[in-house]
Structure 1
């Protein structure tokens, strides 16, 4: 009689999961030294380094700056503290995975990152509603595909807006990004940049005036 041979199953760890776990741990440790400000050009450069060379240092810098901001945004739109932290981590990990798909001509780095976080939350809400048998919120349903004419108009407006933003002085463009895209209060922006509140208000006002002058022919 042939004796039974004992076998042992060895689990092979998922390399991507291990790598992302290490990235998450390393990046979380950098939160204490997060830069007070990160310009759109600097964020774009970090994403490009991630896409081209999988630069972990670049990812750590991006994570340190955007993690608390994405988390705060998630809290503002109704996520729980634990959920906000989870969404922020996953959004930044998706930046790592999809860095090569980022197009700075289509959106600022901050806009791209916040849209990733928003879509994650919408997907989660949809999944929970499907599991529980609830109807979806119509506001979260995708819009009907735009017509060719609408796409052409949107592309022209997007191109004009990016050109107008690029023509602003760097300090005005940075404040517009913080105020309108990242939704920081002006008092917080003043603390972040180490400038008087009056300076922030003045730069926002001047930037808006210049943008209106450049884009007034586009209408509403």
Structure 2
């Protein structure tokens, strides 16, 4: 798993010299993560795949605009993907307004039903409350591991603690969360 410094270095190598190997490494690392991110936003799998590919093409084309001083490579790439998704649905909305009744066009992903939204909000609220009950150290490693998708070795380096300590904190935190969220169905 590459560090954020390595990812930034690869993005800068693509920007400065069109380094194909650096781009291949970026693509291998980010394409599946971007697709997953887009699907978590409610994008269908096929469209998420298409937008992830388009985002990575834009990374190659717009590499000169990458500035590690303003944002990390991951922030920059995920922002490109999010903007492509927004643009896609804006175009779809305009096409829908202009389309005739018999013209077939792709529909945006349907919004979740109110009962599903309520359940999701309840779960999110429960998780936030449970996270607040964890020790600061446990909450920190969980956020880095699960929300920022950092590998344990990188977390250990970043926090200056042994890898075993990171693994123990994650394991204990997950165990504690399971106890606190016992009534929540997966």
TM range (shorter): 0.5 to 0.7
- In the alignment, the residues of structure 1 paired with residue 10 and residue 141 of structure 2 have an alpha-carbon distance, to the nearest angstrom, of 16
Residue in 2 that maps onto 1:65: 29
Runs of 4+ in 1 over 2 A off after TM superposition: 173-180, 189-202
Residue in 1 that maps onto 2:2: 38
Q: Which runs of 5+ in 2 are unaligned?
A: 99-139, 156-162, 173-186
Does the CA-based 8 Å contact 1:67-1:92 persist in structure 2?
Answer: yes
* Aligned residue pair count: 123
TM-score, length of structure 1 as denominator length? 0.49
1:109 to 50, 68, 73: 73
Which runs of structure 2 are paired with 1:8-47 in the superposition (5 Å)? 37-47=1-11
Does the CA-based 8 Å contact 1:71-1:87 persist in structure 2?
Answer: yes
Deviation at residue 176 of structure 1 after TM alignment: 6.3
Q: Which runs of 5+ in 1 are unaligned?
A: 1-36, 135-172, 203-220
Does the CA-based 8 Å contact 2:3-2:154 persist in structure 1?
Answer: no
1:125 to 89, 107, 113: 89
Residue in 1 that maps onto 2:168: 198
TM-score, length of structure 2 as denominator length? 0.57
Give the structure with higher Rg (CA).
1
Deviation at residue 108 of structure 1 after TM alignment: 1.1
